Structure 1
Amino acid sequence: MPETASRFTSAELSVLRYIQDHGKDAADLSARELANAAGCSAATVIRLSRKLGYSGYAEYRFALKRQRHPAVSAFDMPKRDTPAEIAAVSHLNQAKEIERTADLFAERDTIILVGGGLTHTALEYLHHYLFSASCPTICMPNDELSLDAISSASPDAIVLCASVSGTGSSLDLAREAHNRGLFVIGITSSLTSDLITFCDIHLLATSAPRANPRIASRLGIIAVTDEIACTYTHRHLHGQVIAKEAHV
């Protein structure tokens, strides 16, 4: 057996063969749908994605979609002052709400991060940051697994739902978490979204005009997740509050 093939199990190779034979359609499948098509489990799909160097199936799926569509030339991209856009977000939320979020993360046993597409990439950053600081976070690669995590979560779990528009599957998962009595934190740029009605804490991601909705609109969510990560580091050390005013 070639050295490259020996790195993968037979089930993982089945997934790779399916993607090779149905590359155009495979990128549109969720991890569970791809697993069913290839005759394996969703865990196998996720494990394969990580063996290929991706953080999870969401990132691998995005890479497959990019292979299907030509990249946009950098000369065609709108010019933006990215640092200024990110800096502006820091003035949108009260510091006490960011601090309360960080403190809750340190207190609870489970934090479930929910977001789709490019928003999921921002949450992956927060997930890896908090996980490395011994903060127990879960960031599933698709909606089905996120729903499973919410359905089986303990009563003291926190669900953080991030969505630029505050609609779609993130709204549905926030509603499910709320109906189950879980504490919900929402990050969105919309002040009129129904997502806000299911949130115990709402953090505003951005209010700036977006020249390119697919890219620029996520900057606000990235900035908020970075604020949470930095605040967690400042106020907590190995899960212990180091600021006296933590619950004030």
Structure 2
Amino acid sequence: MNIRTKLELEEHFTDSEKGIARYILAHGKEVVKDSISILAEKTYTSPATIVRLTKKIGLEGYNDFRIRYSAELEKLAVQENEIDVNFPFTKEDSYENIMNNLAVLANQTIEHTQALLDEKDLRKVVALMKKARAIDLYGTENSLLAAGLFQNKMTRIGKNVDMRSLDGSQTFLASASAPDHLAIVISYSGETETVIRWVQILKSKHTPVVAITSLGDNHLSRYADIIIRIDTREKLFNKIAPFSSILSFEYILSVIYSCYFQEDYEGHLERKISFDQMSDKRPAHLLKDDNE
């Protein structure tokens, strides 16, 4: 997880630390030039409070923060010519501009996500999927939308994939897990308390865990056997909608599905077509392929 996201989360921050975090987010380029005493003066706090904050977000101190945050801001500056993932359109934009911007945003998100994928990790995930008696999906809110599409695809090729939409039900699912299950846990921040509780239960059950989460260090990644990173340009709260993160989740899960599908291409294709034909209620003559 990048520094900006950790500051936005304000996890276990005191009121003074929250004030510093919000000031940094609002004045990033200025802050990295300031000494710790100047930042303390601007935020009406103390150097000791600033140091405590930097350590809470996993850094060694203020100098470490300035170096790392400056590099993070430079990386974001390179992306300034790209569509803003948080505000891809303005109130002045025409419908045509909105259509174009969202199309560009989708392409950019997939390109960023593809660049983060590692073929070796994908092969490990597929190997675990083939070995698993059952695959269980875990997530909250937006991540469940992508998980639901993945579950639907996998079910159509005959692989048992379970997903529950309620937090309590997901806790029960984790409690009933076993070493021959595979857990795919989807979380943008990787810091949601319920998600961490689930993976702690899963580890106690010796269930392999695949985490699909943001760049950088987070609690979820520390419990995972395999980590798949998503495009992490999106802010947690200050945005119109989770356009980018959902696209990134969906792309990763589509890639995982496709790689798994390819391992038994003919068999999976036959099962998928058979499933679709059995579940389709249209008259039989309408289901024939055009080339038949």
Corresponding residue pairs, total: 168
> In terms of Rg, which structure is larger?
2
Are positions 1:91 and 2:98 aligned together?
no
Structure 2 partner of 1:235: 263
Matched residue type, 2:181: A
Contact 1:114 1:120 in 2 (8 A): yes
CA distance in 2, matches of 1:209, 1:150: 29
Matches within 5 A, 1:14-163: 79-80=101-102, 81=104, 82-163=106-187
Secondary structure at 1:126's aligned position in 2?
helix
CA drift of 1:209 comes to 4.9
Partner of 1:226, secondary structure, is helix
**Match of residue 233 from structure 2:** 208
Aligned to 1:61: none
The answer (yes or no) to whether the contact 1:183–1:200 under 8 Å persists in 2 is yes
- Counterpart in the other structure of 2:249: 221
Q: Which residue of 1 aligns with 2:36?
A: none
Q: Does residue 176 of structure 1 match 2:197?
A: no
Letter in 1 for 2:177: A
Question: Contact 2:210–2:227 at 8 Å: present in 1 too?
Answer: yes
Structure 2: distance between partners of 1:167 and 1:74: 37
Letter in 2 for 1:216: S
1:189 to 1:213, Cα distance in 2 relative to 1, 3 A: farther
Counterpart residue type for residue 216 of structure 2: L
Instruction: Answer whether contact 1:99 1:228 (CA < 8 A) is retained.
Output: no
Contact 2:177 2:205 in 1 (8 A): no
Q: Matched residues in 1 for 2:126 and 2:253: separation?
A: 10
Structure 1, residues 206-233: CA drift from partner, whole Å, max 9, x if none? 1335564633222211111111011111
SS in 1 for 2:189: coil
Letter in 2 for 1:171: I
Identical aligned residues as a percent: 15
Q: Secondary structure at the match of 1:165?
A: coil
> How many angstroms does 1:109 deviate by?
0.4
Partner Cα distance (1:217, 1:232) in 2: 23
Task: Pick from 193, 209, 212 the counterpart of residue 187 of structure 1.
Answer: 212
Does 172-181 or 157-166 show the bigger shift? 172-181
Long gaps (5+) in structure 1: 1-71, 240-248
Distance in 2, Cα, partners of 1:235 & 1:90? 20
Compute the displacement of 1:203 (Å): 0.3
How big is the shift at 1:77?
6.6
RMSD (Å), alpha carbons: 2.5
What residue identity is the alignment partner of 1:231? C
Code of the aligned partner of 1:226: S
Aligned partner of 1:199 in structure 2 is 224
Secondary structure of 2:115's partner? coil
Relative distance call for 1:74 and 1:106 in structure 2 (3 A) is: farther
Does the 8 Å contact 2:132/2:181 carry over to 1? yes
1:153-177 Cα deviation digits (max 9, x unpaired): 2321111100111121222212221
Q: State the AA in 1 paired with 2:243.
A: I
Aligned partners of 2:172, 2:108: CA distance in 1, in Å? 38
Runs of 4+ with deviation above 3 angstroms: 72-80, 207-213
Distance of aligned partners of 1:213 and 1:175 in 2 relative to their CA distance in 1, 3 Å threshold: farther
Kindly provide the amino acid, as one letter, of the partner of residue 90 in structure 1. Q
Contact 2:178/2:206 (CA < 8 Å) preserved in 1? no
